[in-house]
Amino acid sequence: MSFLALPAIFLLVILTIFMGIVNMWMILKQKISDKLFTRDIKINTSITAEITKIKNEINTKIGNELSTRDIKIANELSAHLSEINTTFTVELGRINNDLNNKLTAEIGNFKTRDVMLATPQKRKKYWKDLITLKKPAIMILDSALKKIRSDLDSQI
C-alpha cells in the first residue's frame, strides 16, 4: 500500500502546486486587468480634460471674434445711419426752405389782394373783372350741363 500511496501523494502535491500556479496566474491576471483599467480611466480622464480645455479655448476665441465682428458691424451701421440722418436732415432743411419761400410768396399775394380789395368799390371791380375773365368758361360749362340734362331727359 505504501507503494500506491507515494504516487497518490505525488499526484496530490502536483495538483496542489498546479492549482496554486493557476490561482496565482488568475490573481496576477486580475491585478494586470485592474491596473490597465485604472490606467485607461486616467488616460480617458486626461483626454477628456484636454478636450474640454481645447473646446473652451475655441469657444472663447469664437466668442471674442464674434464680439469683435459684432462691434465692427455696429460701428459701421452707426456710421451709415449717421450719414443717412445727415443727408435726410439737409434734404428736409432744403424742402423746408422751399416751402417757406413758396408760403411767403403766397402770403405776399394775399396781402397784395387784400390791399387791392381794401374798399368796397375795389372789391366790386375785382369780382366783376374775375367774372368777365371766367365768363367764357362758365358759358362752356353751362352749355355742357344743358346738353347732359337733355341727354338724360331723352333717356328717361
86 and 130 together in one domain:
no
Tell me, yes or no, whether 23 and 56 share the same domain.
Answer: yes
- Res 17: pLDDT: 92
Q: Residue 152: which domain range?
A: 117-156
* Domain shared by 131 and 109, yes or no: no
**Are 89 and 137 contained in the same domain?**
no
Contact (CB, 8 A) for 117 and 126? yes
pLDDT digits over 5-48, tens only?
A: 778 888 888 999 999 999 999 999 999 999 999 999 999 999 99
Same domain, 110 and 134: no
Say yes or no: 145 and 132 in one domain.
yes
Domain count, the chain: 2
CB-side neighbour CA atoms (13 Å) of 84: 6
User: Do 68 and 145 lie in a common domain?
Assistant: no
Across the chain, which distance is largest between two alpha carbons, in Å? 172
Same domain for 97 and 127: no
The answer on 56 and 80 residing in a single domain is yes
Share of the chain above pLDDT 90, in %: 40
Average pLDDT over residues 128-146: 70
Nearest to 139 by CA among 151, 127, 128, 147: 147
E strand or H helix at 20, and its extent? helix 2-116
pLDDT (0 to 100) of residue 4: 75
Instruction: Look at 109-113, 114-118, 146-150 and tell me which has the smallest mean pLDDT.
Output: 114-118
Do 15 and 85 lie in a common domain? yes
Residue 123 and residue 107 in one domain: no
Name the grid cell of 106: 403766397
At 98, the amino acid letter reads D
Instruction: Dump pLDDT digits (tens) for 54-72.
Output: 999 999 999 889 889 889 9
Same-domain pairing of 75 and 38:
yes
